Structure 1
């Protein structure tokens, strides 16, 4: 029973980590925008 749970979690981990790579290949730079919208910290970085 635990082997099935571990396998399901491993598959979920692979799918979740692979999704951004696949979306980037499909859409290119269409949605490539920083999450912070380009905000700068007080030190300029």
Structure 2
């Protein structure tokens, strides 16, 4: 759960607002992958 806010901050600070539109699908897939990883890592 701590990774999400950090990722959001990094994404906002990293790429420019113009890049958001282009990188949206890419980082969206990344967040989904992270969710799956976290679920598999800590099923509790």
TM-score (norm 1): 0.41
Structure number with the higher helix fraction is: 2
Which of structures 1 and 2 has the larger relative contact order (alpha carbons within 8 angstroms, sep 6+)? Answer: 2
User: What is the TM-score with the length of structure 2 in the denominator?
Assistant: 0.42
Q: Which has the larger radius of gyration?
A: 1
